[in-house]
Structures are given as structure tokens and as C-alpha cells.
Amino acid sequence: MELRQQCSIGKGLLVQFTKDMSQTLEKYFETYASKGVVNMEANHQGLWLINPANGSRQFLGKATLNGQSTIQF
Amino acid sequence: MREVSIVDLPKGVQKWNLVAAFLKLRKEVFINELDWSLYHSDQMEFEQYDSPTTKYIISHDGNYVLGGARLLRTDWVLSKGKVNYTYMIRDAYNGLLPGISPKICKSPPPVDSGVWEMTRFVSREGERVGEEIIKAGIDYLVSIKAKECLFLSSPAFMRVGRRMGYKAKPLGPIIGNRDGRFLAFSCEL
């Protein structure tokens, strides 16, 4: 079953990264981590790191060119 | 006591509450008051140019934020992915920013480690705070040996810069959209 189909039946969410996005995440992981966990948010603009102290978002990147969300159902 | 701080990550993490307050001020001014069609969430206005590498110039009295602006170095590529955002003026010139005409610049905007861009300027305490933010930003850029700063703002903002003694020159024509009139200009440092 394709991942997109799995997502559509509620088996999970697909979040897309490029390599440089994962490198940025690694670089800033400790800055954004709370108890060893980093929270992120996805919307049509891309993926966002969520600052655990105040909820502000910083742009991590956008893996797709087509204008769709990087998170697919 | 009012002061201006330059805040960036990771060393500025203890002051990141100021950035959150600055994002809230942007939401209050740009969206609530000026009715610009910008994305917001949790009472904060933010976009792709607010990344972990962005530097912020913030005027504050303790934790109360009076104004601020955002600094991006023009040779940075923001987290890339497959969408190569750089900085506002260049992305507008390259047609990546809906609502801002590619005619904002007459020639290709620079990609240079010595050239920075200041945008999202906002102040709630009038011109004096605004001038302090501009001066702090320029002083910071001079301290790191930057050679030029680009601005995307209202034409009035360029007049303020000139009145403060900076040699500001337009990079293109004044353009208009539903949010107002904008101009890209440059100051040698």
C-alpha cells in the first residue's frame, strides 16, 4: 500500500524532509528541545520548529514545490 | 529602562521571549491595525524569513517590546528544502513572493556575505524608538564589518534614514499593492 493511501485511512501522517532540513534540525535540536523532544508544526507554507518556551515558530523548510502541505493525509 | 537588543540563536535563547513578543507586535500592527493579509497563529505573525538563523533587533523595556526589525544576510539560503528562499527583496525580484512585484529592483539583488537585509520594521512608540532600532541595527552591522544594508519598507522609512544621516538610495521604483506602497533601498555602511 502506498504511504499516501495509508495516511488517508488514518495509519499516520507523512511529513517530508530534505537532507538540509534535517541538518538544520540537528544543528538547532538542543535549542528547541524540551526533555529531549522537539515539536514541529506543518502547514501549507512548510515545516516549523516550535520554541518550547514561548510557542514562537521558526521556519525549517518546505520540501515540496507544488504548493501542497508538506504534511499529507 | 528602554534598550535595544540584538537577539539570535543559539546564544540569544534566554532572550527569545523578546522575539515572541516582537512577533505578537507584528501581528497587532500588520494584521489587526493595517489589515495586511499575512499568516498568523497563536497571536504571532511569522513567515519563512523567520528562521533559526534570523537575527532580530528589538527595542524593549524589560520584557515589554516597543518595536523591532529583522535582519537576514543576503547569502543565506533559508533551510532550502526544495524551495530556495533567500531574502525578501531577492525573492520578490525572482517572483517568489505573491503580492510584491518583481519590479521592486531594477537589477538582480546581491548575494554577498557583507550585505544584509532589514525588514518587518515595526514600532509602537513613535519615531524615536524607530530611529533607535535603525541605529542599533546599523551599529551592529558595522560592528561585524558588513558593508551594506538593504531595506524593504514604506517610502517614509527611507526618508527617516536619510534624515538620520544615512546615504540611502532606491533600488527600484515605489510599488503598490493592497497593503500599501513599498520601496527597496540600500544604505552603504
DSSP codes joined into one string, A17-29: --HHHHHHHHHTH
Instruction: Tell if the CB–CB gap between A59 and B49 is shorter than 8 Å.
Output: yes
Instruction: Tell if the CB–CB gap between A58 and B54 is shorter than 8 Å.
Output: yes
Q: What is the mean pLDDT of each run of 10 residues along chain A (73 residues)?
A: 55 78 92 94 88 91 62 42
Taking the domains of chain A in order of start, what are their residue ranges?
Answer: 17-63
pLDDT at B128: 85
The interface pTM score, or ipTM, of the predicted complex is 0.85
pLDDT (tens digit, 9 = 90+) per residue, A17-31? Answer: 888 899 999 999 999
A27 vs A20, A60, B9, B25, B84, CA distance in Å?
10, 11, 11, 28, 19
Give the count of domains, chain B.
Answer: 1
Give the sign of the dihedral formed by CA B63, CA A27, CA B140, CA A50: negative
| Interatomic CA distance for residues B44 and B122, integer angstroms | 14
Instruction: Tell if the CB–CB gap between B46 and A58 is shorter than 8 Å.
Output: yes
Query: A–B: how many Cβ contacts below 8 A?
Result: 89
Q: What is the CATH number of the domain that holds B150?
A: 3.40.630.30
- On whether any CB of chain A is under 8 Å from the CB of B38, the answer is no
From chain B, the residues in CB contact with A30 under 8 A are 10
pLDDT at A70: 45
Q: How many other β-carbons are positioned within 10 Å of the β-carbon of residue B150?
A: 23
| Interatomic CA distance for residues A44 and B123, integer angstroms | 29
Domain limits at B149? 2-188
Q: Note down pLDDT in tens along chain B; length 189 residues.
A: 899 999 998 888 889 999 999 999 999 999 999 999 898 988 999 999 999 999 999 999 999 999 999 999 999 987 666 678 899 999 999 998 888 899 999 999 999 999 999 999 999 877 788 999 999 999 999 999 999 999 999 898 899 889 999 999 999 999 988 888 999 999 999
- On whether any CB of chain A is under 8 Å from the CB of B48, the answer is yes
pLDDT at A73: 39
Please name the residue that has the C-alpha cell 514600532: B123
pLDDT at A2: 53
The closest of A37, A42, A73, A38 to A59, measured between CA atoms, is: A42
Cell matching residue A70: 508538506
How much is the pTM?
A: 0.89
